[in-house]
């Protein structure tokens, strides 16, 4: 089966840096995706790590360590608009095709 663990809540102030961790237990691992969801909105794709290491996209970076079954999303220069829920997800490949299994999400609250 698949299991992803991430903190339920994280708080930070504007301008700070925050790291959202995700640990996983999966039968077959191919990579780690991250999604952002603002309250009441649709999830939007942020990044995908298929290989170990750091992927940087503007203020957001994502890291993966397969040997530690661990990844994180790093948000820099936090802004109020970054207040949202963040989900890690792993692709699951089988005979029926490809699906994503999501963690339960981390709610980030950014204050001024």
For residues 49 and 110, which CB has a smaller minimum distance to other proteins in the complex? 49
The 3-state secondary structure of 24-57, one letter per residue: EECCCCCCEEEEEECCCCCCEEEEEECCCEEEEE
Distances (CA, A) of 86 to 47, 67, 100: 11, 23, 15
Q: Tell me if 71 contacts other proteins by CB under 8 A.
A: no
Q: Tell me if 63 contacts other proteins by CB under 8 A.
A: no
For residues 15 and 50, which CB has a smaller minimum distance to other proteins in the complex? 50
Interface with other proteins (CB under 8 A), residue from 20, 82, 84, 105: 105
CB 97 within 8 A of CB 1: no
Binding site for other proteins (CB under 8 A): 8, 30-31, 33, 41-45, 48, 50, 87, 89, 91-93, 96-105
């Amino acid at each position: 089966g698949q299991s992803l663990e991430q903190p339920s809540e994280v708080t930070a102030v504007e301008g700070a840096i925050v790291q959202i961790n995700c640990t996983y237990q999966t039968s077959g691992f191919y990579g780690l995706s991250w999604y952002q969801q603002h309250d009441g909105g649709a999830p939007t794709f942020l990044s995908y790590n298929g290989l170990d290491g750091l992927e940087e996209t503007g203020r957001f970076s994502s890291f993966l360590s397969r040997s530690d079954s661990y990844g994180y999303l790093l948000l820099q220069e936090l802004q109020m608009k970054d207040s949202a829920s963040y989900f890690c997800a792993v692709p699951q490949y089988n005979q029926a095709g490809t699906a994503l299994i999501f963690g339960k999400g981390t709610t980030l609250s950014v204050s001024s």
